[in-house]
Structure formats: structure tokens, C-alpha cells
Structure 1
Amino acid sequence: MLQYTFRHLKGFGAKKEAELWRAYTFTWDDFENAYNSQLSLFEHTASFLQESRLALEAGDVEYFATSLPHQEHFRIALTYPEDTMFLDIETTGLSKYYDKITLIGWSIGTEYGVYLQGDDDSEFRKALSSAKAIVTFNGSIFDLPFIRNEFEDIRFPACHVDLRFMSKRAGFSGGQKVIEEQLGLKRSAKAAEVDGLKATLLWHKYKWGDEKALRQLIVYNHADVEGMKVIFDKVAKILLKNYQLPTSKITLPKFAKRRSKINWANKKTDKPDGIVIRPYGGKIGPLVFLDELALPKQQGLRVVGIDLTGSEGRPSGWCFLNHDLAETKCLGPDEDLINETLKVKPDLVSIDSPLSIPFGRTSVDDSDPGRHEFGIMRKCERLLKKRGVNVYPSLIPSMQQLTARGMRLAERFRKLGVPVIESYPGAAQDIMGIPRKGASLDYLSKGLELFGVKGNYLTEQVCHDELDAITSAVVGLFFWSGKFEAIGNEEEDYLIIPDLEVDTTNWLERKVIGLSGPIATGKTTAAKFIEEAGFAYGRFSQILKQMLIDRGEDVNRETLQEIGEKVNKTPGQRWLCTQLLKMLPEQGKLVIDGLRHPEDHAFMIESFGPAFMHAHIESSESVRTTRYVADGHSVEEFKVACNHPAEKDISKLALLAHRTIRNNGDLKSLQSSVDEIAQ
């Protein structure tokens, strides 16, 4: 075919090549014969033709791949049909960041070869090194980047033909199977029942003991490889005809006639060297197990997972996960979700729903004035998309109602002092190495069971929302153990996903103490004792004090209470918590003085997980009054300060605290109590 090609010559484009063909100048020889008397005028072209002949004789594919437009590389494959490799991979999913290759199938000539995850890759490398051209479907975006990511020093031929884009130029669009159907190609029944999603499930089945599943996966892969040959033949002919090359004048090779077969090994015959189906030799089940997470087993970790729906009229999946025991339900209205959650007194709530909107937006609606400037996607969604994880933008029309509901629900939980994280079960399942619900509910259940979760879902029929609620709760376990990644930013908050490789040392060994209590219980004195034990000190009033100074206002208890109440409403208590943490070291031990609202408690757990201890200090009213008066105030001033709206949530914090310190004695007694929690 390359002898009919002029596009690699300097100064020859598609138009000029078509003019030559219309003038019956089809080959390099035709060109020289037609312009023999004028070759002195085409000296440069004649030189290129001589180089081309030498390159063709030497099989120098790189010469043509470099000089031909990339979309014309199919001409190289047509020139070297016996040295063209058709290649297709199977993977655990679509993300090059999280997923792995399970199988590589290829065909050169009439031979079909397979590489399986964990096997020796020498045969694949040998076949690849012998190929002059490689043909894939969507391989430039999927197959080849996956292979480069997993195989060190891999080298591909200079010529790569991506049939997805080649087919589009010929008028065909869609996936490979869609184009095969348009061309009238029918697959065998065993291969036809598999699609990309089921292919990932077949690998899970094989890993978990079903060797027939691997056989079917290979059959499916072989059908993909052979289907590409048919597509190539049809599309190449159409393109050359469109280019006005009379294909009746030349004989094009037919890749479909070079059909390969699967050579299965059979110990009972003389075919021991074919494809062998062996039991899976790697780690069986998920990539990580619950027992491998550093979790408090004695008292247990209580996590509620919610797979939220956009409407209170549609049931949401709800799961209470008590360490490894899951209880699931389907619940409708927000009140039911809140009440059932509060009953089980969770350490953490994990919600499958966007819990924020893109920074700069003020509402979920398309009428929002920032719609065009700030878009519909948050940073976490853009990052997951970049990593190849399928995720919906938080503010596409179909997600707006869900996002609004998720934000409302999270706010209500946090105002009650319940910490909330955002989770995405689909991404978590991909990272854990278990099937998503779209692949198989049965194997999703099996994956959760193998991970280590027990519960009613194993014996009773549950819906897919309940299984995703379990997964949301499991993300809470990863969060608590430190094996997580928080993706997003401060303005939009963070989405929590498992991270199996992260170093958890700082997360698990750090200590952060938060102090709450009524006025004059000795919070600041206790905090100073803790600071002396090596903790960095932070106090909410430090932020409020600076705000007053910046405004030129007096700084006293009354003005601090007033501005604290205003900040609690707008921009909000979480904003104040964020500003305080910015003042403190990112590493090391911390003591935070002056928690005043349940949201403070929730925020600190969301920020520090198991490292955070909330200590509530109490004293009798008479002792507190005496201390306040001794500090230069009146009894009436004490009553006014205690009754200020900024102090209204102190009693709620007492119910949320992990420890209670009674401070009715002297400083020595207080320091002794503080030393216990600071150790």
C-alpha cells in the first residue's frame, strides 16, 4: 500500500495525492514514468522516492510513521499485514490511577496470545517487539496508557492505528460493538453476552474461585481482537475510496481472513503449550480487609452510612456499622434519617451525596448568578474525572436536588454535634477492588463480606441503596484508620476516598484536645497546663479578638460574645473553626480552648478523627461565681455573661464530650486531672 502513497513526500497533501490518482498516477513507478522527462524539476521528490524504496525494502516503519500524517498510518499496516498486531486489554476498571490490567490479548497473523495479570510478560514483549504496526480500538486513550503505566521500559511500534478515530473518519461512531453491529458482524453467544462492565466482574469471579469466568473473559477478549480485523478491512476500503484511489485496481490485504483461534492447553492431548487456566495465584478478595485497618476494636467504632436520594419521597439506603456488623434499612424523610441515626449514637456519619457546591456559587439552581463563571463541578469531581473515575458533576440538573438535600442534612447533623464526611461508594469500591452495584449486586455483597462486614444483608434481600450505604459506612472506617485521601479544597470541603498506600503515622499518633465548659470553670487554666506539656495552644477568641481590633472596637467579654454570636450565624461556625486551625501547626499536639457549639465538636472530629479528644470542664455555680467575682466582676455581671446567647449551647457540649473534668478544687487537683488526658 505504501507504494501507492505520496502523503509522506514533502509538498504532497491530500489534494495533490488525489489529483495524481485521478490522473492514473497510482504508484511511485507511475510517477517516475509520467514525469520522467521532467525529473530534473522534481529532483527533491526523486530523492525522497529513492529513500522511500530503501525504507520499504528495509521494513523501516519509523521512516514512514514519522513522515506520514498520523491518520494515514493505516497504510503502513496494510503494507505489513503479517507484522501487524491487533491488541486489546481487559482491566479491573476504567481508571489508570486505581485500576490494573487483568489481561492483554493480541493477534499477529493467525496467532492469538494472552498475557494474564501476574504471569511472565516475556511472550507479550517478544510479540510486541516483532510487530511493525499496532492496531487498537480507543487504545491511544485507554489501552496504551494502561500498558505504559504497568510495564517498565515498554516500547510500542512507531505505527499505531486507533480504530475508534479511523472509523469516525469513515462515518462510523460509537463503541466497537456498535460499529460491529453496523457492519453486520455477529459474535458467538458466549462473547456477545459480555460487555466492558461484565468483563470486570468476570475477573472478580475468577479471583474468587470461578475458573470458567477467566475462560469466558479470554473468549470475550479474543472476540474484540478479531472484531477489530473486520472493522479495519471495511473502514480502510471506505477511506481509500473516499480518497479516490480506485481500490479495484489494487489488492488490499484482508485481516479478517487471517483469523486466529484460541489455543487452549489440554493435558490429555498433545497441546500442552496453549493457554492454561490456573487457579488465581494472587490475593483473593478485596485489595484490603477490615482487620488490616487500625481501628479501636474494644469499644468499637460506630459509623452511619447514608446512600442519599434527591427526594424525601424516595427511600434512601441507611446503614449502621458497629465495627464489623452492619444493620441496613431504607428510610425516606430527613426526619427519619436523623432520628434513626441519633438513636445509634454514631461516632461519624458518612453520606453519599455532594455536601457542597462549587466555590463562588451561592445556590444549586441554574439561575445562580455564578453559574457561568464557576461552573457545575467541584475540584474533587474534576480530580476524580482526571483519574478516570466516573462521577457526576454536583450541579448538573439531575443532581441539583440531591446536592441541596445533602447540604441540608449535613448542616443539621453538624449543628447537633454529629461529624459528617462526604463519601462516594463507587470510587471506594473501585479502590477496594470489589465490584460496583452496576456489575453485580451479588458480587458487591460478596466483596463486602470478604472485606469483613457481617450483617443482615448476607441473609436477607436488600436493595442496591443499602449496599452502597454499607460502603459509605466502610469509608468511615477508612477515614478513622487514617487510610484515606481527602480530595477537594478548603472552600468546597473534601470528599473522602480510601487510600491503601498512605502513611497513617501522624493521623494515628497525633493528639488534639478540645476544651469546653461554662464561664469560669477553668478552661483557659487547664489549656495552659496542657500547653506546658508540649501542646500548641489555640483559642477561638483569638480570631474574634483580632476581628474586633481590625474594626477598631474594644475587646472585652461582652464584645467577644457579641461578635462570636454574629460569626456563628454568618459566615458560620465552620468558618471560624477553619480560621483557628490556620493559626495552628499542621503537625504535632494541639490544645484548643473554648469550644462553644456542637458544630465545633463535629468539625474537630472531621479534621482530626481519632486524634481528637473533647474534654468538658464543669464546676458548681457557687464556685464559678466566686471565681468570677474574684476576677474583678460583680455577681450580676456573671449572670449576664452566663445568659448571653453565645453561651446557649454549652450544656449540649457536655453531652458530646469524651471526658468530663470536675473542677471544684484547687489548681493542683485541676492539673492532676489535666495531666491524665494530656499523656
Structure 2
Amino acid sequence: MLRMTFQRLLRGVSANREAKYWAQGIFSWEDLERYLTPQDNLFLDQEYLFASARAAFEAKDAAYFTNLLDRREHYRIPLSFPEKTLFLDIETTGLSRYYDVITLIGWSYQGKYNSFILGDDEQPLRTALTDAGVIVTFNGSMFDLPFLREGFADLPIPPVHIDLRFLAKRARLSGGQKSIESEVGFKRPSHLIEIKGESAPILWHQYRRGDLDALKLLTEYNYCDILGMKFIFDKVIELIVKQQKLPNNISKKLPKFFNRKESLPIKKGSIHELFKEISFSPYKGDSGPKITYRSLLDTKISPLKVIGIDLTGSESKSSGWCLLDGTKASTRLIESDEDLITATLAAQPHIVSIDSPLSLPQGRISVQDDDPGRHQYGIMRFCERLLKKRGINVYPALIPSMQKLTARGIRLAALLRSKGVPVIESYPGAAQDIMRIPRKRASLDMLREGLKEFGIQGNFLKEQLTHDELDAITSSIVGAFFWSGKFEALGAEGDEALIIPDLETDAAIWNNRKIIGISGRIASGKTTLARYLETRGFYYTRYSMVLAAMMREQGKEPTRSALQEFGNQIYNQIGQREFGRKLLETLPDQGNIVIDGLRFADDHAFWIETFGPAFYHVHLEAPVELRKARFKNRETNETSFEEAEAHPVEQQISMLHPLAHEIISNEGEIQTLYSKVDHLISYHLSRLKCQ
């Protein structure tokens, strides 16, 4: 085919001009040389170009013609160098180059199929790729080649790549490989027809667990994909040369890549000659997960309790609910928000992990399509765009089918946080991909087995649970990753974050910091205790510092009464959670911190969501008469004790008492208070992470 290619070999020869030459019976460079007049030499060195093309052709230099031809015409190169053309297909644990790995690479070269299994010697693959001049894939531009470059250092990819997905479109064939196979008449063996791409990770997981037949079936599937690619390539070339109106005597001479002798047996279990030459060995690597629950968290001191919720978009449909108490998972199906909240509060979890969007894209104010920011800010959040880039399939938060779920998730999280319960957003599908556990859509049995291998126990191992309950278990596991510090928070600045496991992150800072939040009624000793902690190396901050700065910017004097009133306005306008974010922006990234003046249950939830087990909530108590006396001794008497304590911003402090990790009575000498907090720092905070 290359020897009858004239495009770009001579200046001004277009596809139309080339077709006219063919119509005139000019089918080789020699024919064209004889046809051209001496005047053609006025425009270019005709003899030199023909000579260099001949030299490259004789040397089978595919790279030369890659640079010479337009990309649309690269299909001509394998037709001229069939013995230098390699068909390749890969199998992986999933679709994400960021998280998944190649498990099997199959290739057909010079009439022979070979395969590489994860953990094998790479040299046969490298040798074949080095020798080849052309590589043919289906959708390899988007999948196979990027995976190969990510997984193998300096892999010698041939200079010419033919992606059949795009070449087939020239012949008006579109869709996935299997749909095109059906359209062009390629028939797969009956035992392989139902196997799809999502089956490959399952077969690999089965092989890792000792099923050698699963590896054989995976290899058959891969080999069949390559046969299908060859069949499609031949059919596409037939259609293209018909479009170009090549004479039959020319088109019949073009090489064929599909050989019926290579076809797999129709019956399952029949041994093909191919598999007599391939050695299938038991899996040599570690068949278990990279990390287990027990290595993730030390549960000997105090078991972590996480609630996982696989939320549905309607209260009329059951949501999966799981209590993960240490390594034991107990699941239920719950319908209403009221019942979800009741069950969750009764469990007294350290953290709640909800599988649902818990925020809107920045700039949006509602889930509805009539939102004024719909066209400017879109329907997808930063975390969803990032997961898409990493190859994780995720639905945008505000596509029509997700709008009710997103609204419900935001509402449920707000209700729980208002009661002091910290909530994170999780995505079990992404977590399962990262943990290399098959998703529920692929196999519920394999998902169950993966959870078991991770170290989770419970009735789900004996009973047939719904996929919602299994996802609720995974969601609760994400909460455990969060608590351990082995997580990544996906979100733009100011966004609510989506939490996903991160097995590689260094959790040292997360686990070694001490963040103490202090609550209590007026004059209970909050600032006295916080300032003492400052002398112990803690960074000191308080909510009123942010309020005071905001007031000064508006030219107002931040007196106690003014701060109380302004704080109440801020709470009503932007909410306590956003106020907490403003305070968070002022805090250092490392070191210990003391936060003076928690007043709302939301504060307790927010700081646990921000710092996890590093946050320790101390609530101070003192008799009212003692507090009143302290107040009178230190205040300017601009307002009375009774008025200050009756202010709306002080009314939710009673809710913080049952939420606190430590209750300290402060009615004695100041040194007694200091001794109590010294003991707290040296003993409790150094040992307890789940209290």
C-alpha cells in the first residue's frame, strides 16, 4: 500500500489527486516516475524523494512513513509491513491509571500470540515491542497505551499506532469493540460472549485466590479480543478501499491479519493449540489486601465506631445503614430521615460517613436546574471532576437523577451536625477501586470477600445482604481510613471535601497533633485554661478574635455585648459552620492548637471533621454563683451577668456538655485546674484516639 501512496511524497498531491492517479492506472512509485514530466523537477527534487522513500521501504522503517503521511493514512503502514505489525490488548484491575494496575498484556506478533502476567518477566514483551514498527489497539489511545506508559518504565512503544476505534469510524462503524464485532460478523465462542470488560478484574481476583482456571479464562478472553481486533481491521480496510475505489486486482493483494485457524474452540474447556504453549502458574504474589483494618487502626484501647450510610434519593426507598464497631459490621435497611437520625444517635459514633454528595458546586445555591448559577457554575463539583480525571466513574452531583439525593444528603448532614455528630462524605465505589475490591456492580460475592479480607466481620458473611448494605459497610470503612489519617480530602478551597482512602499518605502529623477545644458557660474558666495551654506551646485562638477583626473592619468597637450581638448575626447569616471555616483559615498547618469558646454543637462536629482524633473537646463547669462572682470581678459592667448569659449565642452551650470528651470541674484553686489539664495532656491525650 505504501508503494502506491503519493500523498505528501510530492508537493501538491492531495487525496483527490492520488485517486486520479489510481484511476489512470498509476499504482506504484515507478509508474508515477514514468508519468511525471520533466517540468515537475522544477518544484522539488523528485528523484531524491523517491530514493529516500524506497530506502525506508526496504528497511521497513515505519517511523519514516509516520512522519511523512497524514495520521489518517497511517493504516497504510501495517498493510505494507504486516510482519512488523503487533496487535495488543491489556487487562487491568479497573479503569483508573491512578489507582489500578495492569494484570495481563496479550499481543499477537508475526502470527503468534503471547502474554505477560503481572509478576512475570517483562523481557518477551519488551523484545516484541522493540522489534515491531506498528502497534494496533482498540481505544489504545485512551486506555492501553497510557496504562502501559504508567506501569512500565521506558517501554519501547512502536512509532506507529493504529487505534481501531477511530479508524473504524472512517468506515462508519462506531461503538465499543464488541458492538463493532457483531456488526462486521465476528463471532465469539459461546463461553466468552457474556464476559465483558468488568469481568476481567473479577477473574483476576479469583486467580489471586488460587483459581488457575480463572487465569486461563482471562487469557482466552484477551486472546479473543485480539482476534476480534484483527477481524475488524481487515473489514475496515475492505470498506475503506471500496470508498477509495481501488480496483479489485489491487485490493485483493492487500494482506489479511485474521486467520481462522487461530479462532478459539466453540466449546468451553476445549484445549486450543495456543494454550498448550502457554504455561499457567499459580499466583505468586500476596493475595490479600495492601492494608487491613487492624493495621489501619489500633483497636486495643478503644474501638472506633463509625456509621456508614448508603443514602437513597427518597425516604420511600430504603438506605443501607451500617454500624462498624471496631471490626464488626452490623447492617440495616432504613427509610426515613427521622429513623436514620434516631438509629445513628443511639449508636453514638465517632464519625458518620455518608455515600451522597453533601455539598453543591461552588456558586450554586440550589439543586434545581432553575438555579441562577446553573449555566455559570455547572452541575459538577471539583471532587467529581478530579475523580473523572483519575479514571474513577462518578456521577455529577446535580444531574437530574442525582438532585434529590444531593438535597437529601445535605439536609441529613446538617441535621446530624446540628446535634454535634461529625459527618464526612464518602464514595464507596471509589474506595473499592482504591482498595482493589470489585464493586457491587461487578460481583456482590467478590465485594463481600474483599471486605472479609480487609478484616471486617459480621452477619454479611453468612447472610445475603443487599448491595446497599454492602456499600454502607464500605462507606463506614472510609470513616476508618479518615480516622487513621490514611485519606485524601478532595475539594477546592472552601468546598466540603469528599473523603477517599489514600494508602500512601503519611499520617504522622494527623495522628500526633493535639487540638483542644474548650466550651463552658460564661466565666467557667475557658480563657484562663486556654491561655495556660498557650504557655505549654499551644497556638491560641478563639472565635471572638475573628469576630473582633470583622467588626474592626466595619469600624465597630468589639465589646463583649457587641461581640455577642455580632456573633448572633453571623450565625444567622452564614451559619456557624462557615464561621468555623473563617477561623480555620487563620490556623497553622502544624503544631498543637487550643480553640477557646465553642458555643454550638456544630462547632464540635466541625472540628472533628477537620482534625479527626486529634481534636479533644474539654467542657468546663463551675457553680453559677462562683461564675457570677468571677464575671463581676473582671468585666466593665457594661452588661449584667444575667443578660450576658441569657444572650442567644450562649443558649446552646448546654448541648456541648454531653458531647465533650472531658468534663472538668473548675471551682477550686487555679493550680488545681492547671494540674488537671497537665494530667490530661500527658496521659489521656497521648493514649486515647477514639475516646
TM over 0.5: yes
Provide Cα deviations, 1:144-167, integer angstroms capped at 9, x if missing partner. Answer: 110011111111111110000000
Per-residue deviation, 1:277: 1.7
The residue number in structure 2 matching 1:24 is: 25
Which position in structure 1 is the counterpart of 2:268?
A: none
Match of 2:688 in 1: none
**Alignment partner, residue 4 of structure 1:** 4
Which whole-Å CA distance do the structure 1 matches of 2:350 and 2:538 have between them?
25
Aligned equivalent of 2:83: 82
Q: What letter corresponds to residue 513 of structure 2 in structure 1?
A: R
Does 566-575 or 116-125 show the bigger shift?
566-575
Moved more, 553-562 or 86-95: 553-562
Q: CA shift at 1:19, angstroms?
A: 2.0
Alignment correspondent of 1:324? 327
Q: CA deviation at 1:666?
A: 1.3
Q: Which moved more, 1:414-423 or 1:32-41?
A: 32-41
Q: Distance in 1 between matches of 2:505 and 2:90?
A: 29
Q: Which residue does the alignment assign to 2:200? A: 199
Superposition TM-score, scaled by structure 1 size: 0.97
Q: Residue 669 of structure 1 is aligned with which of 665, 668, 672?
A: 672
Structure 2 counterpart of 1:624: 627
Pair 1:152-2:149 in alignment: no
1:461 positional shift: 1.6
> For residues 16 and 669 of structure 2, what CA distance do their matches in structure 1 show?
97
What residue identity is the alignment partner of 2:229? M
Q: What is the CA-CA distance between 1:553 and the residue it aligns to?
A: 2.0
Aligned-CA RMSD value: 1.9
Deviation at 1:54, TM superposition (A): 1.0
Is 1:242 aligned with 2:243? yes
With over 3 angstroms needed to count, the CA separation of the structure-2 counterparts of 1:44 and 1:259, relative to structure 1, is farther
* 2-structure distance, mates of 1:230, 1:328: 50
Counterparts in 2 of 1:259 and 1:13: CA distance versus 1, 3 Å: farther
Cα distance in 2, alignment partners of residues 96 and 632 from structure 1: 62
Distance 2:526 2:173 in 1: 72
8 Å Cα contact 1:164/1:176 also seen in 2: yes
Aligned equivalents of 2:181, 2:341: Cα separation in 1: 51
Structure 1 residues not aligned, in runs of 5+: none
Distance (whole Å) between structure 1 residues aligned to residue 379 and residue 302 of structure 2: 42
Residues 273 and 462 of structure 1: is their aligned pair in 2 closer, same or farther, counting only changes over 3 Å?
Answer: closer
Gaps of 5+ in 2: 266-270, 683-691
Q: What is the SS of the residue equivalent to 2:585?
A: helix
The equivalent residue for 1:510 is 513
Q: Match of 1:363, as an amino acid?
A: S
Equivalent residue for 2:258, pick from 253, 256, 259: 256
How far off is 1:190 after superposition? 2.3
* 8 Å CA contact 2:95, 2:392 repeated in 1: yes
Q: Aligned ranges for residues 83-122 of structure 1 at < 5 Å?
A: 83-122=84-123
Using the alignment, how far apart are the partners of 1:460 and 1:446 within structure 2?
13
Shift of 1:244: 2.8
TM-score by length of structure 2 reads 0.95
Is 1:228 aligned to 2:229, yes or no?
yes
Give me the whole-angstrom Cα distance separating, in 1, the residues matched to 2:300 and 2:483. 12
Is the CA contact 1:389–1:427 (under 8 Å) kept in the aligned structure 2?
yes
Match of 2:687 in 1: none
1:409 and 2:412 equivalent?
yes
| 628-637 or 112-121, larger mean C-alpha shift | 628-637
Q: Which residue matches 2:685?
A: none
1:527–1:537 contact (8 Å) kept in structure 2: yes
- The whole-number CA distance in structure 1 between the counterparts of 2:635 and 2:425 is 48
User: How much does 1:475 deviate?
Assistant: 0.1
Distance 1:65 1:535 in 2: 64
2:586 matched to which residue of 1? 583
Residue 254 of structure 2 aligns with an amino acid whose one-letter code is: L
Q: Paired residue for 1:34?
A: 35
Q: Equivalents in 2 of 1:235, 1:499: separation in Å?
A: 44
1:45 is matched with: 46
Q: Distance in 1 between matches of 2:85 and 2:638?
A: 93
Structure 1 residues 548-557 or 181-190, which shifts more?
548-557
The amino acid that maps onto 1:293 is L
Structure 2 letter corresponding to 1:2: L
Confirm or deny: 8 A CA contact 1:91 1:99 kept in the other structure.
yes
The answer as to whether partners of 1:303 and 1:322 remain within 8 angstroms in 2 is yes
Report the secondary structure of 1:545's partner residue.
Answer: helix
CA distance in 2, matches of 1:142, 1:507: 36
What is the total number of aligned residue pairs between the two structures? 675
Deviation at 1:214, TM superposition (A): 0.7
Return 51-60 or 2-11, whichever deviates more: 2-11
In the aligned structure 2, how far is the partner of 1:271 from the partner of 1:8?
42
Aligned counterpart, 2:576: 573
Deviates further, 239-248 or 532-541: 239-248
CA distance in 2, matches of 1:93, 1:597: 44
Partner of 1:368: 371
Deviation larger for 82-91 or 544-553: 544-553
Q: Is the 8 A contact 2:490 2:498 kept in 1?
A: yes
- Name the residue aligned to 1:537: 540
Q: How does 1:377-388 map to 2 (within 5 A)?
A: 377-388=380-391
